[in-house]
Amino acid sequence: MQDTSTIDIDLSAIDHNMSVIRRAVGPGCALCPIVKADAYGLGVSRVARRLVGAGADMLAVYSLRQAIETAAAINAATPVLVLMPVTRIEREDELVRLMLAGQLHLVVHDEANLAALEACAAMLGVELPVHVEVDVGMSRGGALPDEAVRIIGAIARGGHLSLRGVFAHFSHARSDARTTALQLERYDHVIEASRGVMPADVYQHVASTYALARDARYHRTMVRFGLAWLGYGLDELEAPHPVIGREELRPVVRWSTSVVQAKSVPAGTAVGYGGRWTAPRASTIALVPVGYSDGYPTGRIAPSGSGLCVRLCTPDGRVAHAPVVGAVNMDQITVDVTGLHGGDIHDWIGCGVELISRDIHAPTHLPRLAAEAGMIPHEVLTRLNPRIARSTSITANLLDSEVAPPVRAVVESPRLNAAAG
């Protein structure tokens, strides 16, 4: 066994999620999936093509390098928006071709950035499409509202820049409806103050996944989302009547491995570095070959017991959940499978294990795994080591039999390991 685990990407789930988002925002609203950080670690070369095929009108990345990689993956089929402040572009063939084709869109963050981009476009002899970011309360990037109005006016007066978008990013879209509404008002102040000089076809985009699902008034003429195309984001959303229901999205990611060893230990045995967990009774401990070097979270919340668990197939073909016990190691974790199989402990070797499940009700659902580790889903995804084998699949929906392909039929066990809580 060369690969110790596999990350599977369900391409049909991407198609499905894009169609759900399209229905939610309507035909007049453009879709701009975010594919920064190598499409959240899933591989922009495979994901970007799928998103474009599923109806993406634009793709957003963070850096120029990411823009080059993304444009190459989709053969420059749609524009690529670079979100970071850029002040200079060298005469690189990839970028110049994109600029000449109008497929590279940059962001103006302040008046100094405006001047730098104007000089850059003049030097290269191109008309550069730009989006103006309005800082409505994030205080991370972009121009404050009054400065944003001045920037839009300056672009309208001519030069080498073409205004293609005006956008904002909300700081509390997941959890605070009032703050989000106030930030929208600041954005609308800029739009209203710029009506006379702003082209009618400018993209207005303020909605990330959370704002997109919170209320249709945030959709405007384009939505810019990351977690939603992955099938996540709605678990954490605090909104009474979301535009998209949690059950409508399908998780894209499944991370799986298998048991490589099992042993019996007597009651009172300490397990792992520092003896962070002690067997409360005679126990069966399974060894799973993944760890923090693979990106598996270390369970920062509870030092005496991480609260993390795995979903696995028992030797007799049932699906159960078992807790991760002891410290998470660099390349292995130990799992308490006591009471889940009455036969020989060596029967566990080769049994399938899910670390991230596509079942939204499972404790191994990505948002729950992230929460147990004191992380957010984005963080878990982007920390998954690039050396882990990636595969793609096309499925209609989650099948429990995914946990262990050799088993003919897998039925969800009504009894979970009591130690899992």
Model confidence pLDDT, tens digit, residues 193-236:
999 999 999 999 999 999 999 999 999 999 999 999 999 999 98
* Average of per-residue pLDDT across 350-370: 96
pLDDT at 354: 97
- The bridge status of strand 261-265 relative to strand 283-288 is antiparallel
- The answer to whether position 137 is within a domain reads yes
pLDDT > 90: percent of the chain: 85
Q: Residue 3's closest CA among 348, 381, 306, 257?
A: 257
Given a cut of 90, whether residue 396 has pLDDT beyond it is no
- Residues 183, 274, single domain; the answer is no
- Residues 137, 275, single domain; the answer is no
- Residues 301, 236, single domain; the answer is no
pLDDT at 415: 30
* Average of per-residue pLDDT across 395-405: 46
Given a cut of 50, whether residue 303 has pLDDT beyond it is no
Residues 137-163 pLDDT 10s = 999 999 999 999 999 999 999 889 999
Last residue of a domain, one of 248, 277, 307: 248
Q: What is the 3-state secondary structure (H, E, C) of the chain?
A: CCCCCEEEEEHHHHHHHHHHHHHHHCCCCEEEEECHHHHHCCCHHHHHHHHHHCCCCCEEECCHHHHHHHHHHHCCCCCEEECCCCCCCCCCHHHHHHHHCCCEEEEECCHHHHHHHHHHHHHHCCCEEEEEEECCCCCCCCECHHHHHHHHHHHHCCCCEEEEEEEECCCCCCCCHHHHHHHHHHHHHHHHHCCCCCCCCCEEECECHHHHHHCHHHCCCEEEECHHHHCCCCCCCCCCCCCCCHHHCCCCEEEEEECCEEEEECCCCEECHHHCEECCCCEEEEEECCCCCCCCCCCCCCCCCCCCEEEEECCCCEEEEEEEECCCCCCCEEEECCCCCCCCHHHHCCCEEEEEECCCCCCCEHHHHHHHCCCCHHHHHHHCCCCCEEEEECCCCCCHHHHCCCCCCCEECCCCCHHHC
Given a cut of 80, whether residue 416 has pLDDT beyond it is no
pLDDT at 300: 55
Residues 232-288 pLDDT 10s = 999 989 999 999 999 999 999 999 999 999 999 999 999 999 998 999 999 999 999
Q: Which of the four pLDDT bands, split at 50, 70 and 90, describes residue 2?
A: confident
Q: Which of the four pLDDT bands, split at 50, 70 and 90, describes residue 13?
A: very high
pLDDT at 96: 87
* CA 305 to the chain's CA centroid: 27
Number of domains in the chain: 2
- Residues 162, 235, single domain; the answer is yes
- Residues 192, 143, single domain; the answer is yes
Last residue of a domain, one of 248, 267, 299: 248
- Residues 72, 139, single domain; the answer is yes
pLDDT at 158: 85
- Residues 262, 239, single domain; the answer is no
Q: Which of the four pLDDT bands, split at 50, 70 and 90, describes residue 136?
A: very high
Last residue of a domain, one of 197, 231, 248: 248
pLDDT at 301: 42
Its domain, for residue 99, covers: 11-248
* Size (the chain), residues: 421
Given a cut of 70, whether residue 305 has pLDDT beyond it is no
- The answer to whether position 6 is within a domain reads no
- Residues 95, 174, single domain; the answer is yes
148-157, 178-187, 231-240, 295-304: least confident range: 295-304
User: How far apart, in whole angstroms, are the C-alpha atoms of residue 249 and residue 16?
Assistant: 7
What's this model's pTM, rounded to 2 decimal places?
0.91
User: How far apart, in whole angstroms, are the C-alpha atoms of residue 20 and residue 230?
Assistant: 12
